[in-house]
A and B are shown apart, each in its own frame.
Chain A
Amino acid sequence: MFPRNVLTSEDQILAERTGQPRGTELVLAADQGEHADLAAYRQVRRQSRMRRVGIGALGLAVLVAIWQLVAMLLNDPVFLPSVAQTAASFAHYFNRPYPAQGSPLWSDALISLRRILIGFTAGTVIGVALGVAMSASRVVRYLVDPVIEVLRPLPPLAFIPLFIIWLGIGELPKEVLITIGVIPIMAVTTVASLDEVPDDLRLCARTLGASSRYTMLRVQIRAALPGILTGMRISMAAAWTSIVAAELIAATSGLGYLIMQAGDYLNTALVFSGIIAIAILGLALDACLRGLLLLADPSRRQ
């Protein structure tokens, strides 16, 4: 799962950019003639977006309904608890510690979130800086490229024993694990996004009177920003994969550990609660990144 994500990151960017069916007929209509009223055009685009969001919500509702139906038919809460049982378990353990594990759900969620945010931020900063350097200098690119090519397909989980030997069993090895997973994704997507900025866009800025520094910051990196943010969304998913896996095998706290403990005691409803907590946090973080993406790229807005 994890290495696949990394290998196809460029394809995913492309899919992100081209695959979205966003009111195609309207765009075409706008291309054919010159529309006279910007406000009306935006209004129509907004309505089509609302419709899309509505259909998406329907898909989720269907999933929950199927879950509930199957749970009712099986009537075996250890095998598959119902939606109501899971919700009750979530509400119960949110504030109370699970005896076998010792801390409430919210605290495990915060611990996982903290690891993610620290590791992800460090990985993003290092990865983007590396990508900019690789894009700016051929020597750096030829130097770093093979290193990334070797590291990229390796599952970060393989490094866990090493990190424990080197860094102990505290928080640091978990954060470093995430950072190590994020760096290659961010470096690769940053290089790809910068490479995609046309040379003529840079020349255009220069002929308008921008210095090369101004052009680098305000045009080249700015133009690559949506691609970099898309890379961050991919990295975020990868970060969750590594942290939960790490917590399952080598931790005494965090959502992964909670899920493992609940599983050991056949508390399936709590396993589901942990999974749902991960989903909620993942969705929330992705929503933040998507918000930034909308800010960075107006063509995705309506």
Chain B
Amino acid sequence: MTARADPAGVPELTEAPGAEVVVDSVSKVFRRGGRRTVALAGASLRVRAGELVSLLGPSGCGKSTLLRIIAGALTADEGTVTVGGRPVSGPSPERGMLFQTPMLFGWLTTRNNILFGPRAQRAARRHERDDPELEDEAAALLDRVGLAGFGEAFPHELSGGMQHRVAFARALAARPSLLLMDEPFGALDAITRERMHEFLLDIWDQHRITIIFVTHDIEEAILLGDRVAVMGGRPPCIGEIIDIPLARPRHALDADTEVFLTAKRKIRAALRT
């Protein structure tokens, strides 16, 4: 990656636009003490560059396993995953990840949490951007996630929603072309979660990176996704993939529209099969 700043002085956040993701008949079996558990059986999915796809299913349907295989934290027993045309082998900053808890580094200030990725990447000689430049980018990101006055705060001094926004900014600072989100707002209260949805859609609108969003909440899946991939079954696999023809930008109010309800009915039916 090379340094680049636009004329207004606000650094560009993502170098590459979103990457295309191709998951081709991926299987995974866990063995523990002689017991075999099939976590995934031939899951296939194609996510277009810049698309936001929701991965919906009940607990234990293998959606987290699939996400971790795409992240490179687990290896598939069969099948392949390519992101941006390159096969996945091991974790990479091109594939950012957000977890159910914010996973902030408690000993670092908000600013240094955000700068963790750029600094780690510099240590790994992925770029040569200097500290002042990175500080500017951190300031811009803090501003973008609405935490301009909290650069020197430590994670424990922030509320749950604020912590998630820091995690978001930190993930963006690493400049991923794909963001994998594993039920990231599951632990938040309903009101904060609604705010985080609007925040996520807003950020995605600006950056247009590819996002795969894992959730077990049907409404959340519909509200966020261009498409909803329904997972389930024994052995677990990706079933129907349902288009969500809701216009963008979307808002929480869209949940009352006919389009939304139709999509919900389709997904309910798909979850039964």
Candidates A198, A209, A297, A298; contact of B103 at CB < 8 Å: A198
Given A34-B159, A210-B116: 18 more A-B contacts, CB < 8 Å = A38-B157, A200-B99, A203-B71, A203-B91, A204-B99, A206-B73, A206-B90, A207-B95, A208-B121, A209-B126, A210-B120, A211-B120, A214-B123, A218-B120, A219-B105, A222-B107, A298-B107, A299-B106
- Is there an interface contact between A209 and B106, defined as CB atoms closer than 8 Å? no
Closest 3 CB pairs of A and B: A209-B93, A208-B117, A210-B120
- Interface residue A4 (Cβ < 8 Å from any Cβ of B): no
- Interface residue A154 (Cβ < 8 Å from any Cβ of B): no
- Is there an interface contact between A208 and B174, defined as CB atoms closer than 8 Å? yes
- Interface residue B205 (Cβ < 8 Å from any Cβ of A): no
With contacts defined as CB atoms under 8 Å apart, how many contacts are there between chain A and chain B in the complex? 100
Q: Complex Cα distance A60/B161, Å?
A: 42
Residues on B with beta carbons closer than 8 Å to the beta carbon of A34: 159, 161-162
B189–chain A nearest beta-carbon distance, Å: 9
Q: Complex Cα distance A297/B105, Å?
A: 10
Residue of B nearest to A222 (CB): B107
Candidates A203, A219, A296; contact of B73 at CB < 8 Å: A203
- Interface residue B227 (Cβ < 8 Å from any Cβ of A): no
Per DSSP, chain A at the interface is: helix
Q: Complex Cα distance A101/B160, Å?
A: 62
Q: Complex Cα distance A95/B23, Å?
A: 79
- Interface residue A50 (Cβ < 8 Å from any Cβ of B): no
Interface size bracket, A side: 20 to 34
Number of interface residues of B (CB under 8 A): 42
Residues on B with beta carbons closer than 8 Å to the beta carbon of A208: 93, 96, 116-117, 120-121, 170-171, 174
- Interface residue B86 (Cβ < 8 Å from any Cβ of A): no
- Interface residue B154 (Cβ < 8 Å from any Cβ of A): yes
Binds B, one of A25-33, A168-176, A183-191, A239-247: A25-33
- Is there an interface contact between A207 and B96, defined as CB atoms closer than 8 Å? yes
Q: Which residues in A have some Cβ–Cβ distance to B below 8 Å?
A: 27, 30-38, 41-42, 198, 200-201, 203-211, 214, 218-219, 222-223, 225, 296-299
Candidates B120, B153, B159, B176; contact of A33 at CB < 8 Å: B159
Q: Complex Cα distance A95/B225, Å?
A: 79
Mark interface residues in B162-175 (1 if CB within 8 Å of A CB, else 0): 10000000110010
Counting chain B CB atoms within 10 Å of each CB, the highest count among A27, A37, A207, A209 belongs to: A209
Q: Complex Cα distance A214/B91, Å?
A: 14
Candidates A42, A201, A210, A211; contact of B157 at CB < 8 Å: A42
Residue of A nearest to B110 (CB): A38
Mark interface residues in B109-127 (1 if CB within 8 Å of A CB, else 0): 0000000111011011010
Residue of B nearest to A218 (CB): B120
Residues on A with beta carbons closer than 8 Å to the beta carbon of B180: 207
- Interface residue B149 (Cβ < 8 Å from any Cβ of A): yes
Residues on B with beta carbons closer than 8 Å to the beta carbon of A30: 157-159
- Is there an interface contact between B116 and A205, defined as CB atoms closer than 8 Å? yes
- Interface residue B266 (Cβ < 8 Å from any Cβ of A): no
Counting chain B CB atoms within 10 Å of each CB, the highest count among A27, A37, A298 belongs to: A298
Candidates A27, A38, A41, A209; contact of B174 at CB < 8 Å: A209
Residues on B with beta carbons closer than 8 Å to the beta carbon of A32: 159
Candidates A41, A207, A218; contact of B91 at CB < 8 Å: A207
Residues on B with beta carbons closer than 8 Å to the beta carbon of A214: 120, 123-124
Chain B, range 179-202, C-beta contacts under 8 Å to A = 180
Chain B, range 93-148, C-beta contacts under 8 Å to A = 93, 95-97, 99, 101, 103, 105-107, 116-118, 120-121, 123-124, 126
Residues on A with beta carbons closer than 8 Å to the beta carbon of B162: 34
Contacts A198-B103, A203-B73 given; indicate if A298 touches B156 (C-beta within 8 A): yes
- Is there an interface contact between B154 and A298, defined as CB atoms closer than 8 Å? yes
Residues on B with beta carbons closer than 8 Å to the beta carbon of A31: 159-160
Q: Complex Cα distance A204/B90, Å?
A: 13
Q: Complex Cα distance A77/B56, Å?
A: 79
Residues on A with beta carbons closer than 8 Å to the beta carbon of B260: none
Q: Complex Cα distance A267/B124, Å?
A: 66
Sampled A-B contacts (6; CB under 8 Å):
A42-B157, A200-B101, A200-B103, A201-B103, A207-B95, A208-B93
- Interface residue B150 (Cβ < 8 Å from any Cβ of A): yes
Q: Complex Cα distance A38/B106, Å?
A: 16
Residues on A with beta carbons closer than 8 Å to the beta carbon of B157: 30, 38, 41-42
- Interface residue B12 (Cβ < 8 Å from any Cβ of A): no
Mark interface residues in B210-244 (1 if CB within 8 Å of A CB, else 0): 00000000000000000000000000000000000
Residue of B nearest to A30 (CB): B159
Q: Complex Cα distance A210/B174, Å?
A: 10
Candidates B95, B124, B160, B161; contact of A211 at CB < 8 Å: B124
Contacts A38-B152, A214-B123, A298-B156 given; indicate if A207 touches B170 (C-beta within 8 A): no
Residue of B nearest to A211 (CB): B124
A294–chain B nearest beta-carbon distance, Å: 11
Residue of A nearest to B102 (CB): A204
